[in-house]
Amino acid sequence: MLPRSLFSLGLTTTASLVAATGPCDIYASGGTPCVAAHSTTRALYASYSGPLYQVIRGSDSATTDIKPLSAGGVANAAAQDTFCSGTTCLISIIYDQSGQGNHLTQAPPGGEASGPEANGYDYLASAVGAPVTLKGKKAYGVFIAPQTGYRNDVPRGTATGDNPEGLYAVLDGTHYNSACCFDYGNAETNNKDTGNGHMEAIFFGDRTAHGYGAGSGPWVLADLENGLYTSGGDNGVGRNPNNPSVNYRFVTAVLKGNSGNQWAIRGGNAKSGSLSTYYSGVRPTSNYNPMSKEGAIVLGVGGDNSDGGQGTFYEGVMTTGYPSDATENSVQANIVAAGYAAASLQSGPKISVNTTVSFRATTAPCCTTKYITHVGADVQLQVVSSSSTVALKSSASWIVHVGLGNSACLSFESVDSPGSFIRHSSNRLQVNTNDGSTIFAQDATFCSQEALDSTGTNALRSWSYPARYWRHSGGTLYIASNGGPNAFDSKATFNDDMRLGTNRVEYLISPAAGVSAIHRNTARGLRSLAFNASIVYIVKRRLRRLLDRISSTDIANVPDIQRNIARPFRRCDSLKWLSGTNCDSPEDRRPNPGILNIRRTYHSNPAAVKVKPRVIIHGGAGNIKREDMSADQYKEYRRSLLSIITSTDAYMRTPKGAFTSSKRPKYPSALEIATYAVVQLENNPLFNSGHGAVFTRDGINELEASVMVTRGFAKRGVGVTGLRSVKNPILLARAMLEHGERDLRGNTELGWAAPANETTGEVGLDVPSAQGHTLIHGETAEILARKYGLETVDPSYYFTQKRWDEHVRGLEREKNGKGAATWSVDEYIPQGTCGAVALDEDGVICVATSTGGVTNKLTGRIGDTPVVGAGFWAEEWSEKGDPSANRANPANPWRSLTDYLELPGSVVELPSNLYNFFTDCLPTPSLYSPVPSRASPTHDRGTDIRVVRSTAVSGTGNGDSFLRVAAARSVASIARWASVSSAEAVNRIAGRGGELETSAGPRWGKTGEGEGGMIGIESSIAVNKSGAVLYSRSEILQDHNCAGMFRAWIGDDGLPEMKIWHEDDGTNSENEQASILEGKRAY
| Cα(950)–Cα(874) distance, integer angstroms | 7
| Cα(313)–Cα(64) distance, integer angstroms | 21
Ligand-binding site membership of 956 (annotated): yes
The three-point CA angle 266-271-276 to 5° equals 20
| Cα(947)–Cα(1034) distance, integer angstroms | 13
Q: Which residues contact 860 (CB under 8 A, 6 or more apart)?
A: 702, 722
Contact (CB, 8 A) for 959 and 850: no
CB atoms within 10 A of CB 912: 13
The 3-state DSSP class for residue 959 equals: helix
Helix (H) or strand (E) holding 328: helix 325-338
Written as one letter, the residue type at 663 is K
CB atoms within 10 A of CB 326: 10
Contact (CB, 8 A) for 865 and 953: no
Partner residues linked to 429 by β-bridges: 424
Beta-strand runs (E) in 384-510: 398-402, 410-414, 420-425, 428-433, 446-450, 458-462, 469-473, 476-480
Which residue in the list 304, 443, 682, 743 is annotated as catalytic? 304
Ligand-binding site membership of 949 (annotated): no
CB atoms within 10 A of CB 761: 11
Which residue in the list 356, 833, 855, 951 is annotated as catalytic? 833
Contact (CB, 8 A) for 693 and 852: yes
940 is catalytic: no
| Cα(622)–Cα(1010) distance, integer angstroms | 10
252 is catalytic: no
Contact (CB, 8 A) for 188 and 304: yes
> Diameter of the chain by CA atoms?
107
Torsions phi, psi for 357 (to 5 deg):
-130, 165
The three-point CA angle 230-233-239 to 5° equals 40
**Would you give the distance in Å from CA 218 to the centre of its chain?**
26
Ligand-binding site membership of 599 (annotated): no
476 is catalytic: no
**Would you give the distance in Å from CA 283 to the centre of its chain?**
46
Ligand-binding site membership of 865 (annotated): no
The DSSP line for 764-828 is S--SSS-TT-SEEEHHHHHHHHHHTT--B--GGGG--HHHHHHHHHHHHHHHTTSS-SS--SSS-
Torsions phi, psi for 213 (to 5 deg):
-105, -165
**Running DSSP on this structure, what letter comes out for residue 848?**
E
Ligand-binding site membership of 474 (annotated): no
Closest CA to 116 of 126, 128, 124: 124
Sign of the Cα pseudo-torsion (1073, 1077, 1081, 1082, in order): positive
| Cα(476)–Cα(756) distance, integer angstroms | 39
Alpha helices in 429-493 (DSSP H): 438-443
Contact (CB, 8 A) for 695 and 753: no
| Cα(954)–Cα(832) distance, integer angstroms | 11
The DSSP line for 152-202 is ESS-SS---BT--EEEEEEEETT---SSS--EEEEE-SSSS---TTS-EEE
Written as one letter, the residue type at 193 is D
Ligand-binding site membership of 65 (annotated): no
Which residue in the list 25, 188, 225, 960 is annotated as catalytic? 225
Torsions phi, psi for 240 (to 5 deg):
-110, 105
| Cα(398)–Cα(446) distance, integer angstroms | 13
Ligand-binding site membership of 959 (annotated): yes
| Cα(868)–Cα(194) distance, integer angstroms | 65
Ligand-binding site membership of 913 (annotated): no
Q: Catalytic residues, which ones? A: 225, 304, 833
Q: Which residues are annotated as a binding site for substrate?
A: 861-864, 956-959
